[in-house]
Amino acid sequence: MNFDLTEDQREIKRTARDFLAARYTPEKIRAIALDGQPDPHWDDIVELGWPDVAELGIVELAVVAEELGFALAPSPLAAHWAAKLLHPELEGRGTVAMWDAEPAAPDASTMPASLTGTKIAVPNADVADTLIVTAEGGKHFAVAASEATIEPARALDTTRPLFTVTLDGASGTELSGDFGRAWHAIAVMAAAESVGVAARVTALAVEYAKERKQFGRPIGSYQAVSHACAQMFLETEGARSVTLWVAWALDHDPENAYMAANCAKAYASDAAVNVTRSAMQVHGGIGFTWEHDLHLFLKRAESNAHAFGDARWHREQIADALL
């Protein structure tokens, strides 16, 4: 049995790596994330067909998502993917409003339903055309962003801005579909992006360990550093393996994929955070400075770890399923 990516998937990966590296340089990432410049590359992303890449398969989605993490791309693409998975007929850009400050309560006496409530930590809501709003009773509604009040919120990861969304009688179209599969695919997407973050900082740490010298020797020649780098590589590859397996299973073996998706999100979330923290240690003092890019990767790792359910929540889902 061949566990490798297909040639088409490898080509998607190569294209994504080259495209993102050329457009999201460290200087451009800082300009967007820290200086508030708008992301100018959405039209290019649309031209590549990435907003609809999930139509090819969840593995293809995971491949591009990993490269988004590797490049630390400050793009609304991941938020749009989440919305598209829940609402495949979505037109324009979307995002998902799931975390409650005040649960969205639908009034079914009106057609379409009207929703009132407040959602927090909604990613990239400022550029979304449609909000996919979770509501009481496990319902999902599509709401035009123009129907909501959208206010900036403080975000740990400034490459992915967050917003507070207030609904006051907003018109919403109730959605239907296999939301279980959609949410598991979203978890895999987030896990894949965390794998990309871990892979990038592992590469940065190994490169630094080869170049930085102490007592006339590269620091990577010392066991404390080399073992840390080896552990980073181990956790990254483990996270990649389980994430790609679950991505494949969602399309071909859904019976086993659902529980495994929780495993992938939990493992990849922890791996990305552990790896970025270890990379900080390998880099020593320079890794803790604002001028170095590692803090941006750490914030993306920490943010992804909590997006769409943190590791503890996903483990609780596994435990509940086994009882």
Question: For residue 153, what are its two tokens?
Answer: 């919120």
242-253: pLDDT as tens digits: 999 999 999 999
User: Where do the structural domains in the chain lie, given as residue ranges?
Assistant: 7-86, 94-174, 179-322
Determine the topology of domain 179-322 in CATH.
Answer: Butyryl-CoA Dehydrogenase, subunit A; domain 3 (1.20.140)
Q: What is the 8-class DSSP label of residue 93?
A: -
The confidence score (pLDDT) of residue 119 equals 95
**Residues of the chain predicted below pLDDT 70:** 1-3, 108-110
Question: For residue 161, what are its two tokens?
Answer: 């801005």
- Tell me the CA end-to-end span of the chain in Å, nearest whole number: 33
Report d(CA 240, CA 113) in Å as an integer: 41
The confidence score (pLDDT) of residue 103 equals 75
Tell me the one-letter amino acid at 103: P
CATH second-level architecture of 94-174?
Answer: Beta Barrel (2.40)
19-40: pLDDT as tens digits: 999 999 999 999 999 888 889 9
Residue carrying structure tokens 């020797």:
217
Please, where are the H alpha helices in the chain?
A: 7-23, 26-33, 42-48, 58-71, 77-86, 179-211, 223-252, 254-283, 294-306, 311-322
Contact residues for 271 (Cβ-Cβ < 8 A; gap 6+):
194, 195, 198, 235, 236, 238, 239
The confidence score (pLDDT) of residue 108 equals 63
The confidence score (pLDDT) of residue 1 equals 46
Q: Are 229 and 202 in contact (CB under 8 A)?
A: yes
